[in-house]
Structures are given as structure tokens and as C-alpha cells.
Amino acid sequence: MKKYRNYFVNKLGWFLVTLVAAFVLNFILPRLMPGDPVAAIVARLAQGQSNATGVQAVYEQYTELFGTNKPMWEQFIIYVRNVFRGDFGYSISQYPRTVADVISSSLWWTVALQFPAIIVGWILGNTLGALAAYLKGNFDRILLPISIFLSNVPAFGMAVVLLVIFAVNMDIFPTSGGYGHDMIPNPSLEFVWSVIVHYQLPFWSIVIITIGGQAIGMRSMAIYELNADYVKYARFLGIKDRKIIGYVFRNAMLPQITGLALSIGTMISGALVAEIIFSYPGLGTTILSAVLGGDYPLISATTLIITIMVLVAFFALEIFYGLIDPRIRAAQSD
């Protein structure tokens, strides 16, 4: 237990150091990008104005509001103070919307799309990969090339293929949006059904690609494990196949779980391709336009959320590994 406590404290320390470093970088890096985001607001206000003094006054008003006229260190102190109060300030590109409002209106669409897609893709991919390794023969011969093909199809390619086949040509699913183009959100079955129908193509465009990559990874790991010495030894001992397979897939699963944690940690960055191709609401396009427009507050807030989610996912994973795998706990606490 003492070893495990050391392991836990060690991991927690590194977690905090990484968090602080990432927090600082999240603040600094967007501000090192070329371009002046406040100029974009002034652009909207100043078009057609031939009064240079007026334009300059407007510019100064907004640089003061966003604090971009202050030294970087001063901006950082203000940023830290506000973040600890839960205030990420105004979005520059969507001013006068607050960052919190921008994120909260898109976040749930992204989570609702990404989380189930990642989980379903992961489960299906790993199951198929494991079966391919175990069953071999025709199942493996068919599954492997399909998986390689799927994992190499660009995300936008898969999305466009699904769109053209199932929405444009067959007219089974809608072409765009998060719910009916003629609907208003409300707690009715009709609306829920509309959301479910609109969900299908973006969802499967992510799942199908995820399946390919996961299946290949799981198949390779499972084949490696199936040929490991402990499996042969277990067979010599006469242990039943079902029991052996259980050991094999638990061991093969470890790196796959790491991949799953990373996927969940970064899911907030959005399914950019699916959002664009299907005009699906979400954070992906919001973050993209924030980056292109140099929207510092929005970039910093979203990257901070992503950072924290990745760190928490990995921290939980490390702790979980430490619990289930004594080898890791022993190695790390030495």
C-alpha cells in the first residue's frame, strides 16, 4: 500500500507540473500568432469611416476592453485571476458573446457526438480485431484488408461518401444540421427523432474510421499475445481455451485503453470534418474559426479544457493501471 501511495503522489506531482506548464502555454502560444484580433472587430465597426481619429478611438476602446494593450505579464495575471473565478471573458471573434456562452452552446453537441462514437468505434473495432486474431482464416483475410482500407480513408472522404450515398442519392438521411431544417428545439418525440436521424451520418462517419484503426491495433496485439510463452505454457498445462483467451485479450487491451483515454481526453476539440461536411453544430468549427481569427480568450479556454481533460484521463488511467497491473506500480515507485 505504501508503494501505491508513493506511486500516486508521484503521479499527482507530475500531473500538477504538467497542468501548470500547459496552462502557461495555453495563454502564451495564441498570443504569439501573427495578426491582431481586435482589428477584426474594428474592421466591422470602421468600414466606410473616413474619420481616422474615430477609427483609432474605436480601436483603443476595444484593445482596452480585451486588455491587448497591456504587457503580456499583466494580461497573464488578469487571465489567471479571472480563470480562477470561472470567467474566461468575451470572445473576440463573437463579441459581445462570452467565451462561456460560446462553449456551452456547442459543447453538448460535440460531447453527444464524439463520446458515443469513440466508445462504439472502440468496442466494435477491438471486438472485430480480437475475433480476427482468434478465428484467423477467412474472417481475418476479409477483415484485415477492410480495416486497413477504412483506417486509411480520410475522415472527410468517408463523410462525403456517406453524405452522397445515404443523404443525396438515397435520401434516407438528412444532408445537414443537428436537427430538422424546419424544426425548433422542443421536448417532443418528433424533435428527439429528428435529432437521432440527423445524428446518424456524422456518427457513423466517425465510428467506421475508428473501427478500422482499432481493429488493426487489437489484431496485432492479440496475435502477439497468442504467441507469447505464457499462452503456450498455459496450453501445456491444459488450461481451457476460453480461460486463456481471457488472459490474452486483457493483456492485449492495455495499449488500446491508452488510445481510448487519449481519444476521450481530446474529444472536446470536436469532430471538425463531420461538423463541416454535415453542418453539424459543435465546438470543432468554433475552435477552428477562433484559431484563424486569433480569438485568444476562446482559444485559451478551449485548449485549457482539452488539456485538463487529457490530463485527467491520463491521470485516471495511470492510477487505474497502477491498481490493476502491479508491474507498473512496482516499476514507477522504484
Contact positions vs another protein (CB under 8 A): 34-37, 39-52, 54-59, 61, 65, 94-97, 105-106, 109, 163, 167-168, 175-191, 275-279, 281, 285, 289, 292-294
Give least dist CB 304 to another protein, A: 21
Nearest residue (CB) to another protein, 37 versus 322: 37
Residues in contact with 62: Cβ distance below 8 Å, sequence separation at least 6, in sequence order: 38, 41, 42
Cβ–Cβ under 8 Å, residues 73 and 80: no
d(CA 89, CA 97): 9
Q: Please report the sign of the dihedral spanned by the C-alpha atoms of residue 176, residue 179, residue 184, residue 185.
A: negative
Please name every residue paired with 98 in a beta bridge, in sequence order, or none if there are none: 90
Taking the complex as a whole, the smallest distance from the CB of residue 69 to another protein amounts, in Å, to 14
Q: How far apart are CA 70 and CA 48, in angstroms?
A: 29
Question: What secondary structure does DSSP assign to 202-245, as a single string?
Answer: HHHHHHHHHHHHHHHHHHHHHHHHHTSHHHHHHHHTT--HHHHH
Report the residue number, 102 or 221, with the smaller CB distance to another protein.
102
Q: Is the Cβ of residue 178 or residue 297 nearer to another protein in the bound state?
A: 178
CB nearer to another protein: pick between 114 and 256? 114
State the minimum distance, in angstroms, from the CB of residue 162 to another protein.
13
Q: In terms of CB distance, is 30 or 213 closer to another protein? A: 30
How far apart, in whole angstroms, are the C-alpha atoms of residue 177 and residue 109? 11
Q: Would you say 126 or 286 has its CB closer to another protein? A: 286
Among residues 30 and 259, whose Cβ is nearest to another protein? 30
Q: Is the dihedral of CA 101, 104, 110, 114 positive or negative?
A: positive
Q: Which residues contact 99 (CB under 8 A, 6 or more apart)?
A: 88, 89, 90, 91, 297, 298, 301
Which C-beta is closer to another protein: that of 181 or that of 243?
181
Cβ neighbors of 130 (< 8 A, separation 6 or more) are 218, 219, 222, 249, 252
Quote the least distance from Cβ 91 to another protein, whole Å.
9
Distant-in-sequence, close-in-space partners of 172: CB < 8 Å, separation ≥ 6? 166
For the bound state, the minimum distance from the C-beta of residue 294 to another protein, rounded and expressed in Å, comes to 5
Burial of 277 (0-12, 13-18, 19+ CB in 10 A): buried
